[in-house]
Structures are given as C-alpha cells and as structure tokens.
Structure 1
Amino acid sequence: MGPHARRRAGRRRGGIGKSRLVREFTGGLDAMVAEGGADPGGTAYAPFVPVLRRLVREHGADLVPGGGRRGLAHLLPELGPETGPETGPETGPETGPETGAETGPELGRARLFEEVLLLVERAAARRPLALVLEDLHWADQATRDLLMFLLRNAMRPGVLFVVTSREPLRLPGAEVLKVPPLGRAEVARMLGHADGSPGHADGRRGAWTGLGRAGLPLHGAERGGELDLIMARSEGNPLFVEALADAGAGATTPATLRELLLAGAERLGRQSLEVLRIAAVAGRSTPHDVLRAVAGLDDDLALDEALRPVVRARLLLVDGDAYVFRHALIRDAVYDDLLPGERRRLHARCARAQPERAADHWYAAGERRLAFESAWQARRWDRVLELWDDDAGAAGGDRAWVLEMAARDALCAGEAERAEELATRALDEVADPLRAAHLLELRVAIRDLLGEEGLDDLREAVRLAPRQARLIGALATTLAWNGQDAEARALAEEARALGDARSLVTLAALTALDGDLEAASGLYAEARRRAPDDDTLLVSYASQADVLEAAGEHARAESVAREGVARARRLGLTRSRGAHLAANLAEPLASLGRWEEAREVVRSALALDPPPIHRAWVLMVLGTVAVWEGSFEEAEDVVRLARPLMRGRSRGYDSCLEPDLLECRLAVAGDDPGRAARVVDHVLNEHDLTLSRRYAWPLLALAARIGRVREAPDGLATTGRVQQAYRATFEAECGGSWEAAVARWRSVGQPYALAQALVGAAEQDPANAREPLREAAATAAGLGARALRRQVAQTAATLRVSLTAEPVLSPRELEVLKLVAEGLSNRQIAGRLFISARTAGVHVSNILAKLGAASRVEAATTARRDSLI
C-alpha cells in the first residue's frame, strides 16, 4: 500500500513525486490497473467512480448480485435505477423497498460497500488488480469510509490498493512510503549531472542542460551557483526543480509559483496553448475525443500537432487514450490564468462534450438552467436544489421529491444529520398524506441511526396512511421494542392481514415472550417463506435467535444464528445483517461458556466494519465476555466505544439499557461500588424497568448486591428460565435462598452465572460450603474466569474451606495428626498410642505427603483449616 507523502508546509508538498512514483510502479505490474482520484469539492465516492466503471466495462455488472442495481447504481447510473424514478418529478416519490425503518438507509450504504467489495474481489479472481486512488487529501468522508472498509475486508489474493495523499492517512495494513525531498546530488542527477557538477541532460525534455537563459554555456562557478539557486528555491521538490530549470533559475525567474508553473506554457503556440487550456477545464483526465471535440479539430492530425509540444514539454502526460496534467498544481495554474469570459466559453464547450460532467460545466459557465437540467439527468440532487428557482416549480417540478432524493444520497454518503435536515424540509413542502407518511417513515429510519426514537413519527405516518401495511408493521415493531406489547400485537395482526410479512416477525417475537416457543417457531418459518426481500428473511433469523437466547435455549439460538449467518453470506449481506446475526451467534456461545468461540465470531464481525448499531451489539457481547474473564481494561474500552452507538431509545428499552448493564457488571466485578451505584441510580431515575424484558432483572440483581434496591418494581414481568433465574438471584441478594438461585441456573445451563450462585450459597451456609465452592472453583478454572477464581479463593479462605480434594487419611493417621497438631514429638506420640517411635515416624511422614505439607507445623495448620481434626 502506498505511496503516502506527509505534508509539511501547506501545498508545498504537492509535486514531491507521488504520482510519478505510482506510474513507475504500476507500469511494471502484470495486472489490470484501475485509476481514480479526488478533486476539491468532489461528490461522494467520486474517486471510486472511474475505478468501478473500468471494472464493470471490463468484466460486466454480473460480477455482483442483482447486476449492482441496488448499491452500485448510486455510483454508476448506467447499471440501472436503484429504486424510484429516473426521469422527472412528475413520476412521483420513491416508495421502494429501501424506505422501511428496519430496511433503513444504513443498510443501503452497507449493501453498496459489499457490492463494491464483491466487484473488486471477483474482478481480481479473473486478473490481478491494482486500484490507484490519487490525491485522497481532497476526498470526502464517504470515500474514506469505503476505502477503509475495502482495506479491512478485501481478503482475496491479487488485490493491491495504491493511495496517494499530501496528508497523513490512517489506513489499516498499509505500507506507507513517505516521499522525501531531493538532496543536492539527486537534483544534480535529475538535471543531467552525474556528480553534482554542471553538465548536459540525459536527453529528457525539460531536464536542465547546463545553459544559461540566453543559451550561452555557463562557467564553472556560475553553473555551481545556478544549481545552488535551484536547490534553495525548490527545496528539493521535483516539480519545482523542473519548472525552475525550464524557466531558468536566475534572478529574473518568475517570483510566484503560478508564474513559475506557467513558464513552460508561455512558450507554446496558440493552438497548443488552447488545447492545454481545454484540458485544464475538462478535468483531471481528458480523453482524446473530448479534446478533439472541444478544440473543434476534426482532423486528428491537426490535434496531434497541437498536442505534441504540450506533451514534449511534459505539461500533459499520455494516459492510455487520455491526457493528464503532470501535476494538479500545473492544471490549477493554467485554469487560474484563464480570463473569466474565456473560462465560461470553455466550460460551455466541455459541457457538450462531457455529458457526465455537464452539470458542473454549465454551472461554471453561468448557465443555470442548463446546469439544472444536467444535474437532474445525472441525479445530482444537491446541485439541483442549489439551482432551484421559481421557474422549476412553475414548470411542474417537485421540490419535495428532490429533497427526499438528496436525503437518501446524504445517507448513502454517511451524512445522517444532513439527511435528517433534508427529510424534514421535504415534509414541510408535502401536502399529500401518503407522501408525507412515507417521508415520516424515512425520517424514522434516519433518526434511528442518530439514536432517536421514532414512535411519534410512525404514529403520525399511520394516521396519514391508515391502510399502508408496511407502516403499520413498522409501528408495531417499534412498540414491541418499547415494551408496549398489547398495542404492538394488535397492529402486527392488522399489518399481517394487509399482507405485511415483516409483521410476522414481530408477532413471533411477542409469542415467544409469552412463553410459547413452538408457536413462535411456526410464525418465524412462515415469515421466512413469505419474506418479500433479503432483509426481512435475515431479520427473522436474528429475531428468532434473540428470543431463544432470552428464553435460555442457548443451543437452539446458536443453531438458528449460524443458519442466518450462512444465509447472509450467500446473499452478500455479511457486513450488515451478517454482523447483526454474528451478535446473535456470539451471545449464546458466551452464555454456554464457549468464550474463545464467541471472541472469534466477534473478531470476524468487527473486521467487517459493520453499521453502527450492529457494531454496538457485537461489542456488547465482547464486553460481557471481557468482564467475565476479568479483562477489565478491555471491557472499559468496549463501554467507551459502544455507548455513543447506542444512545437514545431508537431500538427500545432493552437496547438502551444494555450498555448500563455492561458498565454495572464491570463496576461490580472491578470492586467499584461507587460507580455501580451511579449507574444503578441513573437507570432507576431515567428508565421504566417494567418496559424491559431482558435487562431489568439482571440490573436489579446487581443493584441488590450493592445495597441500592430491596424491592422490585410492581408489574415487572418474569418470562422464561433466564429471567426466572435472574429473579431468583435478585431475591437471594435481598436475603432469600441461594439454593433456589443455584437450582434455577442449573436448569438454564449458564456455567458462569451458576458458579456465582454457588459462591452465594456457600456464603449463606458455611457449614456446607465445601462442595459449592469446589464446584465453583472448577467451573471458574475451566472458563478462564480470573476474577471469579479470585472471588472463590477469597470466600474459601474466609470460610476456612479447602478447595483441593480431601486427603484420604486412615483412622490411625487422623489420630497421629491430632497429636502432631498438639505439638507432640514422635516419641511422645508413640507413648500415647502404645506404638514404637519408628512406627509413629512412618505415620507422620505419610501424613505430610498426603497433605502436601513441608513441615509438622504446616500439616497442623492444614488440618485445622480443612476441619480434619
């Protein structure tokens, strides 16, 4: 990976040789090279567009599922529409499958990322591939996010990424090449000197020839001074070295950088200079046909003659069938040198020759109406809004529809705040109830990503469109998340009757929470048979695995989650729904004590850089395992990373309480009662625990342990074996029976929670503490639960219970041990027991060996501690 130049002084690091280094490197590769680059003010993902277009043209859009018409259509409209209309606003608002709250915009962005990854990997399978992305210091955040995703997840051999930037970029797994400035000897060689003394160039056009500006030979001292002057003025920057050599480095050399870079252009003929100016206006890479069309030269020979001096002066370089500036700074200088009228005329001519960039060209030419029409055709909705005026509305334009499209584009670029603003503006301009309802649904999906609850918007959407099954089903799901089961069930039944398959998932979850897992399984199966899209199918697996885990059916939860993960992989949704299902798989593995397996699932999911809420759920499992293992620093990191991703109540009470539960577990395990009390007080003051199905009883059990709660809230339900076990733990912490809690956890099959209950039972009944503590110690050792092992050992020491197996001492040895504990010698023991001193000595030696004691004193201490005497 590389190269990557660190910026030192403003734009001065431009021209250091990054692009030249890349060209030299890729020119020697036996691979397909696809190139793109960023420009100031470019649109989202713009550097990837030429790269992906090249791959699609080379191999075809069949490389990705669905021909790329869901995700890649955002970037390559020629693949076909993603959703919604292609033409004008008269076709109405988009109401395609991606508008649902649960199939939300972050999943659309995830699908785009996964389609790009599939396209890259499958193209590389046919031929090794080098992707070159230039000038990423100008790239938008969406481009950087996509690059980071590809770097983390492009696992197939034969894929190489080459990135250039003037600024530091933190890229995973990258080999960074920092291109340094040239030294004096290197500048001398570059200008045609082998040893730093003046001489003739190596024949390359633009290298210094050792001649003065008037073409007269320089004398030795003068030549050395010229080299010193070039070194001083260029600071070792190769671009500036060449420009200074072209212009002459004497005192009369142009003083400004712009004049210096234009020195080579000023010596061109009129037609050559015109072609150079066209290239500066056309963009970073200008095809030969575009130059010919804009220059008005129908004769290729005439264009070649105009281009040859430009290429010979190395102002433009040949790049396949196109031309690129040797450096962006030269292009900037040429462009800035244009007169205003000249610039507008050239942009207008380029607009006709470059339809894909026509909107920007017409805009720069001052032709607002033509820019508006071109932006509309190119689906550049932000530019359309910028150019919107009363004429557009009078002509039948639908500004609300454009605002909605711009909101969706903002979401695809990862700009949720901007998307919310655009969706809200669209709502302000819509009068039709059905359209308003769908816009409200879109805003719910956006606000979900921001951690904001969408119940009010969904209620209003259903009021405006009372017969829309998907809206009713979305409201039912959100109500179920927030514990409002009765209303959720009624609405889910209504949506089901109207044909909404996703409502079956909500009904199945509610049925499982009522304790009827078999009926719920039937509803999940029906939801999968009727699923209208991939997302609904995968949501059914995730929901079923979740309710099975909540019910204590860990093995069944694991099986369902594994099947869902496999389906997500086949559907190309590993990063989005696959990460969601990974959390559902890791959780039962953690519950069953298979912590290393759970960690491996988590590691694989996090490596995919999943959407925020899915990343948070995966992190929650990792944090819980870390607490149980005693890896408190790791758990602290998880809390810090996950809390911002799970802010608000957008996913209901269970989701927003999960970080509180993790932090409280961490505080209790880390013996920080003050922190645990602060978390508990926050939960009790800010949340209604009766609305939480999974985390109320665990939080209350911890609150009781630190003495903050002695009674449970009225109306708090207890559904399933896991919640019954947590309730029994809460009651034991409040003075009830730990034996009852032990029995509950045995039936659930969660070894860590069982071991904790066994410790409680031992403390409650010291006379019978030995067996519970030994079982707890063995469990903690098998799990690798360091903190629990320490707790068991401390409890055993306090209760004077041995955690080792009881030594098998004969009745006579026990008699001897008692006398040893009294401090008697072997001869005294022999006299008491009427045996020989030698026999007494043999008994003492056997006792010491069986107890593992090094001395008579240690044997006596062990005997008293383990109640052997």
Structure 2
Amino acid sequence: MFVGRETELRRLAAAHARTPAAVLVVGEAGIGKSRLVREYAGAIDAVVAEGGADPGGTAYAPFVPVLRRLVREYGAGLVPGGGRGGLARLLPELGEAADVPGLGRARLFEEVLLLVERAAERRPLVLVLEDLHWADHATRDLLVFLLRNLMRPGVLVIVTSREPLRLPDAEVIRVPPLGRDEVARMLGRDGAELDRIVARSEGNPLFVEALADAGAGAATPASVRELLLAGADRLGPRSLDVLRIAAVAGRRTPHDVLAAVAGLDELALDDALRPIVRARLLLVDGDGYAFRHALIRDAVYDDLLPGERRRLHARCAEAQPDLAADHWYAAGDRRRAFEAAWLAGRWDRVLELWDDQNTEGQERMTGADRAEGTHWAGGADRAGGADRAGGADRAGADRAGGADRADGADRADGGGPGCGRDHAWVLEQAARDALCEGDAERAEELATRALEEVDDPLRAAHLLELRVAIRDLLGEEGLGDLREAVRLAPRDARLIGALATTLSLNGQDAEARAHAEEALALGDTRSLVTLAALTALDGDLGPASSLYAQFRRCAPDDDSLLMSYASEADVLEAAGRHARAESVAREGMARARRLGMARTRGAHLAANLAEPLVSLGRWKEAREVIKAALALDPAPIHRAWILMVLGTVAVWEGALDEADGVVRLARPLMRGRSRGYDSCLEPDLLECRLAVAQADLARAGRVIGHVLGEHDLTLSRRYAWPLLVLAARVGRVREAPAGLATTGAVQQAYRATFEAECGGSWAAAVACWRAVGQPYALGQALVRAAEQDPVNARELLREAAAIAANLGAEPLRREVEAAAATLRVGLGSDLALSARELEVLGLVGEGLSNRQIAERLFISARTSGVHVSNILAKLGASSRVEAAARARRAGLI
C-alpha cells in the first residue's frame, strides 16, 4: 500500500510543469524510491520509458530499454538514417550499425538526444533511470550529455540512486523514512507490534513489509539480510570480529568499549574499523560508532554462532555495566543477570528471573542493596529521573482539568508507608516503568498482579490509584477503582482529589465539587484545577481564571502546572473564547518545552491549541501543530485527541479518505469513558460528521443509534448538542432530551442550529454563530438560511461562498453552489454597477436624498432618482437603507 510522500509527489509534479527538467531521487535501499516514481508516473498523461542499472552491467545498459520503448512507440525514423549511425549499437533490431570511425560515441549521443526530443514533440515524455549508483561511466556520460543539451519542453528525466550524483541542473529529492502514522496506514494496524516494526524498520517501507510478513519479533528475513550485509563479505577477519562485537554491544557503541572488548591497541582497532566504515556498515557517531540501520545490526547478530554470542555478551557485560543485566542474560548467566538487573532497577528483568533465585539468594541480594543504600533510592528507573517524572504526565489528568493520578515520580520508594520490598513491590515498580515507557497494557497487567498480592489497605489504595492512571491512558473507566481507593484511605487528599476530577468528567458535578472542596481542605492544592474547571463550565469564566491563577502560584510540580494550562484552554474553547484558549495553550506549550516535557504534556497541550485554531478557521496552522505533535509519538489518549482535531479539519476540507483513516486509528485509543462523556462521544461526533459529508445516511444512522442507545447525553457538556444537530439533519431526532443543559455561547449556537433543523429559524442560528466567531459553522448556517429566505438568498450565499473560499472548505463550497442553483441565484461578485451608480450608492450610504445627491453631483433630481432605482434593482433591495446595508457587506462602500 502506497502511503505518504505527498511532498515528494508535489515536487515531481512541479518539476514536470517546468520541463525540460531533471530530478534525482535519493534514498537508501528499500526506502521507496522506485515506488514513489511509479506512483507518480502512473498518474500522469505521458509516455513513460524506464530503464535501470545493475552491478557489473554493460555500457549504456540502463538506456537500452528506454530507447527500445521509444523506437517501438514512434519508430526509428525519428532520427536520420533510422538510427543506423548510432542507436543500432545498442538496439540490434535496427540492423547493423554504420561504421563511422571516431564518431561512434558522438553519433550515438546525438541520436539519443534527437530521439528523445522528437518523441516529446508528439507527447509529453518521462525518462526513468533506476539505480544509477551502479551505472558505468559511459552511461553517466550519456546522461550528463542529455541533461546539458535537452532544450525542448515536455521531457522530464527522473534518476534514482542510493547516493547523490553530480548531475547538471538536477533537483534532488531525498526520500525520508515513513512516520509512525504512515506505517500504521500502510499495515492497517496499531499497538505494540506496530511500535516494534517501526523501531526495527526505522520507517523503511521494504523492511516494514518484510518484518510485517515475518513477524515483528522474528529474525531478519533472508532477502533483507543479503541486502543489508552487502560489503560485509569483503571484510578481513579482524574487521569482521569488530563488527560482531559492535552488533552484540548495541546499536551505538563507544570507541573505548570496542577497544576493551576487542583487546586491540588503538592503531590496530583503527585499521579494523576503517573498512567497516568505508562499507557503511558502521557510521562514525561522535566518540563511537553506530550501525547505519538497526536491521544491519540484527543481520550481523543473527549470523553469530551460539557460542560466539555467549562469549561476546559476557565480555560486553564487563565493559558496559549499564547494560550488564541484558548481557549476562543473553550469555546464559541468570544469577548475574538478576543481580545486575536489581542494582540497575530493571524490574521487568528482575521479575523474569525472580523464580530462578532461591530464597537465600534473594535475601543476600536485598541485604547487599540495603548496605549499598544508593541502589534503593527510588528503584532507579533505567530511563532516568526526568523520564519518570514525565511518566506522570503520560498517566496524567484530562485536558478538561484534573489532578495528576499517576503519582509516578514520588512513590518510587515502594508505594506507601510500611511497604516491604517484596514481589508485589517489584511488580509495582515494573508497572511504573512500563507506564513511563508508554506500554499501558503491560503496566495494567503488572499493577493488577501487585494488587492481588497485597493485603495492606493503604498500599492497596495507592495501587488502585496507579491502575486508574494506567487505565485512563487506555481509555477505560476508573471511577470504581477510585471509589474503592478512597474507601480504603478515606483521609488521603490526593485520592479524594482524583475522585473529584473523575466525577466531574462524568458529569456528576455536585459530588465532584464536594470531594474537590474536601481534598482542598486536606491540603491537595491540585483540586483548585478541578474547582476552576467546574466553575468555568458553569459559565463563570472570571472566577475560574482566578482559581487557575491561584493554583499556578502554588503548583506542587511541573506536571500539575502544565495540566492547569490544558484544563483552562479546554474550558475556554468550550465557552467559545477561542482566541484566549489559543493564548493559554501556547503559553502552556512554551512552558512544556522549557521543562523538557514537550513529548508528554506538551503533546497534550497541542490538542488544546489545535482546537481553537480550527474553530477560528486557521486550518493550515492547526495542521502544522498537529503534525509536529504526532511526530513526538505521544501517549495513546493524547494521540487520540490530536487525531480527533485532524479528522475534523479533514472532513471540513473535504479530505474524506484521510478523515476515515483518522477514525480507524483513533477509535481503538478512545474505547471507554475514562475521560468522561465528552471524551467518549468525540469519536462518535467525528464519524457522524464524516458519514453526513459522505452522504452515507446508513452509517450516520448507526452512529446516532449507538449514541442515543448507549449514552446519557445530559452528562455531556460539549458534544451532545452537535450530535443532536446531526441526528436532526438525518431525520433521527426531532426534540432534545429533557434536562440537557446549554452553557455558553457555543452550546447556545448549536442549540439554535438544532432548533432550526427541526423547523425553527435559521436566521437565529446565523446570528448565534456570527457572535461565536466560528466561520465554518456560520457558513453552513448561511446556506440553510438562504434556503429559508429566498429574498435575501443571494447575499447570504455570497457570504457563505466567501467563507468557503477563505477556508478551503470544499464541501461547503459545493453546498453553496447547489443552493444557488436550486434557488436560481447568481454568485458573481460583479453587480454591473456603473461608475456613476457607485458614486450615487456612496451618497445613499451617507443618507442623502435624491435632491441632495443631485446637488452634490450636479445632475437633475430626476436623473438622481433613476440611478437610485437602478441601484435598488441590481442589489435586490427594497429600500435605500437595505441597499446601503447590502453594499457595506459586499464591500462596495
């Protein structure tokens, strides 16, 4: 499946538009150079002639199939003598080549040039020459001659190569690796296996396909291995030994580690490394060496004999203490692997080896560590303290506001008072590590196992809190666990505050406020954010802003501080304060970057920034924010929020295939109610919008049926009214549920739209959306208002058309044109007003009478009256006041 490469395709198209032109497409083996060229060539109206070089190929071999294609298409008569003077040297079917001493090469080059240019006269021509890194000098000379002498438009030469070539006036297009989302679309899958494929393939499409077929964890497929190890068979024995050491040591190996393990002096090591670097199997990387591709390392490693592998791992364990646990494990020494893992805080490895250690060994290990002291200082996370602190963000609270429930940073000492460092403690540390690393499924499994092994109520309460944070990222409900945690620890302010946040997300505001106030009284300042969000959602933005500011002055940690920005931006956007929401989100993102949390809480805030940009009609900016955030590979729930905004833009732009792909990617990430009704309804709203845009009423009906049957819309503050608007549009609903609240200008506008869909006034909906300042929704309402008000239809549709053009909203443009055709209304901007009529119109706008206009323009009152009458007719106005108003809106005065 061909995915991505939109930028590269556009550059090829741009080159074709300015022919004659040449493009050099560069990239490593398997990156998709040929697929890119084929995809482009297959979509254009041109004759495509292709050839390619092979290792050891004969002179001019890449040009032979190209020239043969042109001769078969147009005949050899395009060149003098039917090509017998030069082309026949390459194409025997033309007959015996004429013997022209001293001119053979020159005649060949000239005939090739003539054939290409004359073929282009008949039809645009694309010459594709593949794998020119293998081409002989003669072929390159012919290509350079062709590029320097091509003058006729209509010829595009595309060359592919693994390395840059010196070609005159050729534009270079470097083909980048695929991103994670592109690989997901390519394979149609997501999750841990996708992450493994992305990591091992590094976005190389050939490797992606090979690993997907073989399984992400399988050995490197043989066909790929041969490609990767090209050149290794020419290395000497000492160089091969060093290459194998590097494969065992890791993807990147410091120079001193190679020296220590290889046992070579500096000069001997340099001599061994130079051929490896020359073959580009290893690349110089600072003070060490890195494999050019992860799969090269895998291929070298897979070729090791079992005994070699164990010996090299044992030697590397001594030289790389930070990786000793893995090396001893691979070497088969499980006791040493256990000891090294415990000292390094590698809790997953400790768990794996736990049952192999006898009780005496465990006690000896624990005692030694207590004596060491430092190794127990928090059960060091191999990802480092900063990442562990960031892990709290990955399990953090909702963008609508809420306390940090992960608590990953400050419970690394064992999970609570009186907690022993037993098997359950190790399970908890492993769960926190998995959470920091983004593996929420694994973290949930470990936390649940730990819960089954503890009997201390306080310890169980905090494990429940951890599991809530984990399940939150998985999109699963955590309210029950939090209620149980508060029952077990009824005076724990943090737990009570977390319960308050979750209750508020589920629309249980009264209970949420009571718990938040209780938590605040017990010292949990993070409950200020929950109280601020509840206050804002009640419509009191001023007091809410004061609460957010109060919290930021005393925020207990960086994550909570950033979470408050996300919460405030979210409630401001919900209230229709789009510009203020943008400002708060940008301030939060800047802080996240300064604090080193751009990938975690910063990606979360990116969704809060993209939303108001979309509302304000700044879709290009929103796409840039979204692209940058997705490139950070955020946590699943944060990725889902970002994708939701992207999907909305895609629907409104008319990119329906893209929107469909977004729905498929996002739904598995938002499969529960962990973020409340608003969050779980968001993918339903996007899919329903998409179905309506596709005119797929059956799909829209299924989504609406699910929403009405499975959800209580009275608990949703943001998405109930938009969903009801769509339900009314497809004829599924005619009245709103009893008790559904309408808070803020945005919800009032949606309610007015719903009422209009049910037979009410579209003019009222237009007025609401005009006040809110959301151009796309205003444009849709204007179209429907025009259908309801034929007298003013032209003016309404012209405004909607202008909005569609400014936004690049293709569906809205089609709606406008369809309504204009039905109502027989012209949308042209030229009202055919003469220069004199425009003068008169300006004076009408000033409120002058016919006589006053006549005096001002030195014309008769009768002539003035005729001009005014013509103007009223052309503007479709019934009075001078209405004419002036329409003229102002149309920019005529």
Given candidates 306, 311, 324, the residue that maps to 1:336 is: 306
Give 1:760's aligned residue: 784
Summarize deviations over 1:720-756 as a string: whole Å, max 9, x none: 1111111111111112222222222222122222232
Q: Secondary structure at the match of 1:431?
A: coil
Q: Which runs of 5+ in 2 are unaligned?
A: 1-25, 32-191, 213-219, 367-420, 838-866, 876-893
Distance 1:676 1:422 in 2: 40
Give 2:147's aligned residue: none
| Structure 1 residue 142: Cα displacement | 6.8
Give 2:810's aligned residue: 786
Distance 1:476 1:799 in 2: 54
Tell me if structure 2 keeps the 8 A contact 1:502–1:536. Answer: yes
Given the alignment of the two structures, is residue 737 of structure 1 paired with residue 703 of structure 2, yes or no?
Answer: no
Given the alignment of the two structures, is residue 388 of structure 1 paired with residue 354 of structure 2, yes or no?
Answer: yes
Given the alignment of the two structures, is residue 541 of structure 1 paired with residue 507 of structure 2, yes or no?
Answer: no
Tell me if structure 1 keeps the 8 A contact 2:713–2:720. Answer: yes
Give 2:424's aligned residue: 400
Q: 1:399 to 1:548 in 2, by over 3 A?
A: same
Q: Secondary structure at the match of 2:606?
A: helix
Amino acid of the residue matched to residue 601 of structure 1?
Answer: V
Distance 1:700 1:163 in 2: 43
Summarize deviations over 1:273-318 as a string: whole Å, max 9, x none: 9x999999999999999999999xxxx9xx979x99x979x99999
Q: Secondary structure at the match of 1:769?
A: helix
Given the alignment of the two structures, is residue 647 of structure 1 paired with residue 671 of structure 2, yes or no?
Answer: yes
Given candidates 706, 711, 719, the residue that maps to 1:687 is: 711
> What is the correspondence of 1:461-610 to structure 2 with a 5 Å cutoff?
461-610=485-634
Tell me if structure 1 keeps the 8 A contact 2:247–2:298. Answer: no
Tell me if structure 1 keeps the 8 A contact 2:500–2:516. Answer: yes
Distance 2:681 2:769 in 1: 23
Give 1:86's aligned residue: none
| Structure of larger gyration radius | 1
Summarize deviations over 1:741-782 as a string: whole Å, max 9, x none: 222222212222223223323323334434333333333333
> What is the correspondence of 1:593-742 to structure 2 with a 5 Å cutoff?
593-742=617-766
Distance 1:665 1:535 in 2: 34
Q: 1:407 to 1:145 in 2, by over 3 A?
A: farther
Tell me if structure 2 keeps the 8 A contact 1:504–1:523. Answer: yes
Distance 2:578 2:244 in 1: 69
| Structure 1 residue 507: Cα displacement | 0.8
| Structure 1 residue 803: Cα displacement | 3.4
Q: Secondary structure at the match of 1:602?
A: helix
Larger displacement relative to structure 2 (474-483 or 280-289): 280-289
Q: Secondary structure at the match of 1:589?
A: helix
Distance 2:659 2:247 in 1: 54
Q: 1:533 to 1:2 in 2, by over 3 A?
A: farther
Distance 1:761 1:787 in 2: 17
Give 1:420's aligned residue: 444
| Structure 1 residue 577: Cα displacement | 2.0
Tell me if structure 2 keeps the 8 A contact 1:280–1:334. Answer: no
Distance 2:719 2:297 in 1: 59
Tell me if structure 2 keeps the 8 A contact 1:677–1:706. Answer: yes
Q: 1:290 to 1:497 in 2, by over 3 A?
A: same
Q: 1:148 to 1:479 in 2, by over 3 A?
A: farther
Given candidates 434, 438, 448, the residue that maps to 2:458 is: 434
Q: 1:462 to 1:237 in 2, by over 3 A?
A: same
Q: 1:436 to 1:702 in 2, by over 3 A?
A: same
Across the aligned residues of Structure 1 and Structure 2, the Cα RMSD in angstroms comes to 5.1
| Structure 1 residue 3: Cα displacement | 6.2
Summarize deviations over 1:599-628 as a string: whole Å, max 9, x none: 333333333333322222222222222222
Tell me if structure 2 keeps the 8 A contact 1:761–1:772. Answer: yes
Give 1:54's aligned residue: none
Tell me if structure 1 keeps the 8 A contact 2:431–2:442. Answer: yes
Superposition TM-score, scaled by structure 1 size: 0.57
Distance 2:249 2:440 in 1: 32
Distance 1:280 1:720 in 2: 61
Count residues in correspondence. Answer: 580
Summarize deviations over 1:489-520 as a string: whole Å, max 9, x none: 11111221222232111111100111111000
Q: 1:805 to 1:169 in 2, by over 3 A?
A: same
Instruction: Determine which structure has greater relative contact order: mean sequence separation of CA pairs < 8 Å that are 6+ residues apart, divided by chain length.
Output: 1
Amino acid of the residue matched to residue 660 of structure 1?
Answer: D
Distance 1:4 1:784 in 2: 38
| Structure 1 residue 531: Cα displacement | 1.1
Q: 1:674 to 1:321 in 2, by over 3 A?
A: closer
Distance 2:276 2:821 in 1: 83
Amino acid of the residue matched to residue 490 of structure 1?
Answer: A
Superposition TM-score, scaled by structure 2 size: 0.56
Summarize deviations over 1:76-117 as a string: whole Å, max 9, x none: xxxxxxxxxxxxxxxxxxxxxxxxxxxxxxxxxxxxxxxxxx
Summarize deviations over 1:802-861 as a string: whole Å, max 9, x none: 434695799xx9xxxxxxxxxxxxxxxxxxxxxxxxxxxxx9xx99xx99xxxxxxxxxx
Q: Secondary structure at the match of 1:617?
A: helix
Q: 1:378 to 1:741 in 2, by over 3 A?
A: same
Q: 1:424 to 1:771 in 2, by over 3 A?
A: same
| Structure 1 residue 353: Cα displacement | 7.0
Q: 1:294 to 1:691 in 2, by over 3 A?
A: closer
Q: Secondary structure at the match of 1:653?
A: helix
Distance 2:290 2:207 in 1: 18
Distance 1:375 1:337 in 2: 23
> What is the correspondence of 1:53-72 to structure 2 with a 5 Å cutoff?
none
Distance 2:522 2:802 in 1: 56
Tell me if structure 1 keeps the 8 A contact 2:255–2:289. Answer: yes
Give 1:373's aligned residue: 339
Amino acid of the residue matched to residue 383 of structure 1?
Answer: R
Larger displacement relative to structure 2 (361-370 or 279-288): 279-288
| Structure 1 residue 547: Cα displacement | 0.8
Distance 2:795 2:277 in 1: 84
Q: 1:316 to 1:525 in 2, by over 3 A?
A: closer
| Structure 1 residue 522: Cα displacement | 0.4
Distance 1:523 1:375 in 2: 46
Given candidates 473, 476, 482, the residue that maps to 1:458 is: 482
Distance 1:378 1:551 in 2: 49
Give 1:58's aligned residue: none
> What is the correspondence of 1:185-204 to structure 2 with a 5 Å cutoff?
none
Amino acid of the residue matched to residue 720 of structure 1?
Answer: G
Distance 1:278 1:772 in 2: 73
Tell me if structure 2 keeps the 8 A contact 1:393–1:399. Answer: no
